[in-house]
Every structure is written in structure tokens, then in C-alpha cells.
């Protein structure tokens, strides 16, 4: 079953479930190694992202899921210094890292976020959580990533533990393990899926960080907005880009990597 939810149809849930935001992060990015620790205004991209995620009210907390590769020890050290939960697991089997978070914190659901989304909008994520909680008896999975209407870089997926457990035990291919959720969203006959959409199509905007060009655009946005309004939202970003349309040319030619 696959359904579509309008982002304007939010209903405040009456109760919540044990759910945490799990941010997968590593330093060995293929196209831009060490990107999460690249700095803007003397703050790392990871710090900006987690600062924004801390604004989300309807979760039990945040955990950074990194790898057992010794090269990722700086992530663990940084999380310990800044007071964030951190777990470690397989570099390639990212799904197993999510299962480790579920086991460690006794979760009924997780929010999957990748560390290449430093400008993620906490209000949008909270709206998604509200819809997921409100439809909890009818859903296994909710995201904004399929039949996209929001920009790249706002991405999140909310998944019930039972669905991730089924994927963990039954998924066989490397992409299913590396990208965590393909086994779920590629099987609507087995899972109850929802996609969050909005009326305006902003899918052509690229606000993720995967290359130096992406970083250049994100740096422009943060430098323009953060000093005056550290809690800026997607609407502020879109207004800024409308005033500076040439900025969009910085990374317009960058192709988005797919699941392969």
C-alpha cells in the first residue's frame, strides 16, 4: 500500500512513541571526504545539522551512527565533547547501524537522516513526525524522498522498528544494506508506505552536500542567514535563493547519486 499525504494536512498527535533521530555519518565520503567537518562561520556542517535537529520536539533524542573504521574516531570524540549519543557499526551495512540504535535505546521507530543535509528544516521533520504518529496504526514508513516535491537536502525517512527488522533479516543485496530502506520502499505489497508532499514543486533545488560545489552554495546560504536568524527555515532559504538566482548555478550541474 502506498499513500500520499499533503504537508498541509497535519494533525497534532495525541501521543507519541519511543522514536529517535538517527544521523548516519562518516568521514570517508566518496566525492567530498571529511565534508561533515567542513566549517562555515567557524562551525562544522555536522554541528549546524544537529543544532537544527535539536529543535524537533516530538522525538526522544538524537544519535549519530558512525562506523568502526578507525578513521571515524574523530566523530566519536566530537559527539562525546558536544554531548550527543554515538554508536558505531559496519561501514558498508548501514542498516545494521540503525538496528544497533534500536537495540541500544529500545525504539519503536527511527527517523533516518543522512549527514549531507546540514540545512534540514526541523519544522518539516516535525510535521512528518506528527503525520506518522497520527497515522501510526496504518503506516510502516513515511518520507519525502519518493515522488519528490521538496528540495534535495530536506530528506528524512521515518520507519517502524518492525519494518527495519524485516529488512535487516531478509534484505540480501549490498545496496539494500548500504541505503537502509530500499527493501522497504521497493515493496509496497508488504509495507504500508506514505510520501509527504507539498503543492509547490521544489524538487529541482539542490541543498545537499556531496561535492565542493554543493558546499559552496551551502556556505553562501549559512553566511547570509545564520548571523541574523540562526533558526532560519526552508522558506527563508527559498526567499534568499529567489533574490540570488545566480547561486543556483553553482551546483546545478551536479548529478544526484542513486541507489545502485
Provide the angle, in degrees to the nearest 10, between the axes of the packed helices 73-82 and 45-53.
50
> Is residue 255 assigned to a domain?
no
- Residue 158 backbone dihedrals phi, psi, to 5 degrees: -115, 125
Q: What is the pTM of this model?
A: 0.92
Its domain, for residue 212, covers 2-249
| pLDDT of res. 162 | 96
Query: 201-219: per-residue pLDDT in tens?
Result: 999 999 999 999 999 999 9
260 vs 144, which has greater pLDDT? 144
What mean pLDDT is predicted for residues 6-24? 74
Q: pLDDT tier at 260 (50, 70, 90 boundaries)?
A: very low
Q: Whats the size of the chain, residue-wise?
A: 260
Find residue 195's DSSP bridge partners.
Answer: 4, 143
Query: 33-60: per-residue pLDDT in tens?
Result: 899 999 999 999 999 999 999 999 989 9
> Is residue 256 assigned to a domain?
no
What mean pLDDT is predicted for residues 13-20? 77
Find residue 143's DSSP bridge partners.
Answer: 157, 195
> Is residue 259 assigned to a domain?
no
Q: How far apart are CA 96 and CA 169, in angstroms?
A: 10
- Mean pLDDT (the chain) is 92
What is the domain count for the chain? 1
| Residue whose C-alpha is closest to residue 2's, from 118, 141, 120 | 141
Residue 200 has pLDDT above 70, yes or no: yes
What mean pLDDT is predicted for residues 83-112? 96
| Residue whose C-alpha is closest to residue 66's, from 88, 49, 83 | 88
> Is residue 254 assigned to a domain?
no
> Is residue 13 assigned to a domain?
yes
| Residue whose C-alpha is closest to residue 127's, from 48, 50, 194 | 194
> Is residue 58 assigned to a domain?
yes
Domain CATH code at residue 129 = 3.90.550.10
Amino acid at each position: 500500500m502506498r499513500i500520499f499525504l499533503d504537508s498541509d494536512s497535519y494533525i497534532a498527535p495525541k501521543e507519541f512513541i519511543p522514536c529517535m533521530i538517527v544521523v548516519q555519518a562518516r568521514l570517508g565520503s566518496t566525492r567530498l571526504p571529511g565534508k561533515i567537518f567542513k566549517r562555515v562561520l567557524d562551525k562544522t556542517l555536522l554541528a549546524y545539522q544537529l543544532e537544527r535537529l535539536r529543535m524537533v520536539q516530538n522525538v526522544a533524542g538524537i544519535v549519530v551512527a558512525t562506523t568502526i573504521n578507525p578513521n571515524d574516531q574523530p566523530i566519536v570524540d566530537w559527539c562525546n565533547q558536544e554531548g550527543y549519543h554515538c554508536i558505531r557499526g559496519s561501514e558498508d551495512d548501514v542498516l545494521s547501524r540503525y538496528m544497533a540504535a534500536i537495540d541500544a535505546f529500545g525504539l519503536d521507530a527511527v527517523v533516518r537522516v543522512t549527514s549531507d543535509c546540514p540545512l534540514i528544516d526541523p519544522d518539516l521533520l516535525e510535521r512528518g513526525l506528527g503525520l506518522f504518529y497520527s497515522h501510526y496504526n496504518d503506516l510502516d514508513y513515511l518520507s519525502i524522498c519518493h515522488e519528490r516535491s521538496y528540495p534535495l537536502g530536506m530528506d528524512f525517512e521515518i520507519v517502524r522498528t518492525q519494518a527495519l527488522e524485516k529488512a535487516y533479516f531478509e534484505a540480501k543485496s549490498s545496496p539494500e544494506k548500504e541505503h537502509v530502506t530500499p527493501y522497504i520502499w521497493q515493496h509496497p505489497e508488504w509495507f504500508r508506505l506514505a510520501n509527504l508532499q507539498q503543492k509547490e514543486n521544489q524538487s529541482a533545488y539542490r541543498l545537499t552536500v556531496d561535492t565542493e560545489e554543493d558546499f559552496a552554495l551551502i556556505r553562501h546560504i549559512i553566511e547570509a542567514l545564520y548571523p541574523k536568524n540562526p533558526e532560519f527555515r526552508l522558506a527563508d532559504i527559498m526567499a534568499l535563493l529567489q533574490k540570488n538566482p545566480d547561486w543556483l548555478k553553482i551546483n546545478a550541474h551536479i548529478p544526484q547519486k542513486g541507489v545502485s
